[in-house]
């Protein structure tokens, strides 16, 4: 088997550019579809059974889009197909410029959100100038030279960068660095939002959370009696609650009668329908206060989504460098979500390792005291920053 030189790609994204509104719309639509495809793959894996799921599809798609800049041939086709980009309607340049616009928009519309990318390159490894130029121009990538032979120091350099960019939330994106590594491409996203209407800490009490029919755990439940935008989706037997943040973002909480029915059917069209059809009603709402961290190796998941060649001898990443035998060694993603009375803080980073190779009526009660899905979205574009499922808020 061909020996490979490890290339670590940790993905971040941010951009500025004038670009066709149609291209932005097509890329944004594909990103939303990709979000739920990736969710279902993560939820379906054996090691995800009975655990919380939380990730940033925006970070993962930005990372893979940045990688596609350097991919060619069948490897490029698989990346585009896996991300849901229609090659007859979108060129690589269209995609680059669309991400440029989306990333710039995110960084400009709210001080609470930050997205970006960075590339860490071994001092002895030569990137193609056009690859680096595109990453800097369209994905706002920061560039750094490191010595990957110094495995501990190079890992520390990458981790300190990610720690700073995620406001201290992602502390060890890179656990180990293979001395054969020649490049890491990083994608990060950080969001800290304050509720438009905060919860009163004095009303926060301990209550039971029903993990399943046979398991209850004591959870810390926040309470707010207020007018909320709510939608009852009878097709999915799911109650959807919108909790707006100050600014353009909202958290959607989806409480289903049967979780599998919701997560197998949910699509971008549902999100669009919910946001448009919600009605303002007074409710007595209880949601858990929690803090979760997740970590994923996405190699198998992305392979199952059709992106196989980039991981092996058939990888064609000649757009990155003239060197032969480049291949992705790993795609790693870490995310955090903290929800409290003041608001929510979320962060994520994606890493791709490449190797050579009047007196109101009583308010009805809505309690999120059983497994529910969570989604953080930009209300105008409906871009999905974060997506997940809370099965147990205490772990």
Nearest CA-CA partner of 252 in 374, 341, 340, 346? 374
Cβ(271)–Cβ(376) below 8 Å: no
- This prediction's pTM: 0.89
Q: What is the pLDDT of residues 213-228, one digit of tens each?
A: 899 999 999 999 999 9
**What spatial distance separates the first Cα and last Cα of the chain, rounded to whole Å?**
42
CA distance 365 to 286: 8
CA distance 32 to 295: 21
What whole-number percentage of the chain has pLDDT above 70?
91
Q: What is the pLDDT of residues 329-361, one digit of tens each?
A: 888 899 999 999 999 888 888 887 666 664 455
Nearest CA-CA partner of 304 in 78, 95, 32? 78
Q: How far is CA 221 from CA 162, 251, 355, in A?
A: 31, 17, 46
DSSP reduced 3-state for 154: helix
User: What is the arithmetic mean of pLDDT over 282-299?
Assistant: 92
pLDDT at 46: 60
Cβ(267)–Cβ(212) below 8 Å: no
For the cut 70, the answer to whether the pLDDT of residue 247 exceeds it is yes
For the cut 50, the answer to whether the pLDDT of residue 19 exceeds it is no
Q: What is the mean pLDDT of the chain?
A: 88
DSSP reduced 3-state for 376: strand
Q: What is the pLDDT of residues 233-244, one digit of tens each?
A: 999 999 999 999
According to CATH, what is the number of the domain 195-288+359-390?
A: 2.30.39.10
Cβ(275)–Cβ(242) below 8 Å: yes
For the cut 70, the answer to whether the pLDDT of residue 109 exceeds it is no
Nearest CA-CA partner of 347 in 109, 164, 137? 164
For the cut 80, the answer to whether the pLDDT of residue 150 exceeds it is yes
Q: What is the pLDDT of residues 4-14, one digit of tens each?
A: 444 444 443 33
pLDDT at 124: 86
Domain-wise residue ranges, the chain: 6-193+292-356, 195-288+359-390
Q: How far is CA 209 from CA 5, 241, 286, 290, in A?
A: 48, 18, 11, 12
Which has the higher per-residue pLDDT, 363 or 198? 198
Cβ(366)–Cβ(283) below 8 Å: yes
User: What is the arithmetic mean of pLDDT over 16-41?
Assistant: 84
Topology classification of domain 6-193+292-356: Antithrombin; Chain I, domain 2 (3.30.497)
The residue whose two tokens read 């209407």 is 197
CA distance 320 to 221: 49
């Amino acid at each position: 088997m061909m020996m490979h030189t490890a290339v670590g790609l940790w993905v971040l994204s941010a951009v500025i550019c004038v670009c066709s509104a149609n291209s932005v719309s097509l890329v944004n639509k594909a990103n939303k579809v990709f979000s739920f495809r990736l969710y279902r793959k993560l939820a379906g894996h054996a090691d995800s059974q009975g655990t919380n799921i939380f990730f940033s599809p925006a970070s993962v798609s930005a990372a893979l889009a940045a990688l596609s800049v350097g991919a060619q041939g069948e490897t490029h086709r698989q990346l585009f197909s896996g991300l849901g980009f229609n090659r007859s309607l979108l060129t690589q340049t269209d995609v680059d410029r669309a991400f440029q616009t989306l990333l710039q928009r995110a960084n400009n519309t709210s001080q609470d959100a930050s997205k970006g990318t960075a590339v860490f390159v071994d001092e002895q490894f030569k990137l193609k100038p056009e690859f680096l130029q595109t990453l800097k121009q369209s994905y706002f990538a920061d560039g750094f030279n490191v010595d990957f032979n110094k495995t501990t120091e190079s890992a520390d350099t990458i981790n300190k960068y990610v720690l700073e960019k995620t406001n201290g939330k992602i502390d060890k994106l890179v656990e180990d660095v293979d001395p054969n590594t020649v490049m890491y491409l990083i994608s990060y996203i950080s969001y800290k939002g304050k509720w438009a209407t905060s919860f009163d800490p004095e009303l926060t009490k301990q209550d039971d959370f029903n993990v399943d029919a046979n398991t209850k755990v004591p959870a810390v439940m926040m309470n707010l009696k207020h007018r909320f935008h709510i939608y009852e989706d009878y097709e999915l037997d799911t109650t959807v609650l919108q909790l707006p943040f100050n600014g353009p973002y909202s958290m959607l909480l989806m409480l289903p009668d049967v979780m599998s029915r919701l997560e197998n059917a949910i699509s971008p069209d549902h999100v669009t329908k919910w946001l448009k059809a919600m009605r303002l009603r007074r409710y007595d709402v209880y949601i858990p206060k929690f803090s979760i961290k997740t970590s994923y190796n996405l190699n198998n998941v992305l392979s199952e989504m059709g992106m196989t060649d980039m991981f092996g001898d058939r990888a064609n990443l000649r757009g990155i460098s003239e060197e032969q035998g480049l291949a992705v060694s790993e795609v790693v993603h870490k995310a955090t979500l903290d929800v409290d009375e003041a608001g929510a803080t979320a962060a994520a980073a994606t890493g791709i390792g490449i190797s050579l190779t009047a007196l109101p009526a009583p308010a009805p009660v809505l309690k999120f005291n059983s497994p529910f899905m969570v989604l953080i979205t930009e209300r105008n574009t409906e871009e999905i920053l974060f997506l997940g499922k809370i099965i147990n808020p205490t772990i």
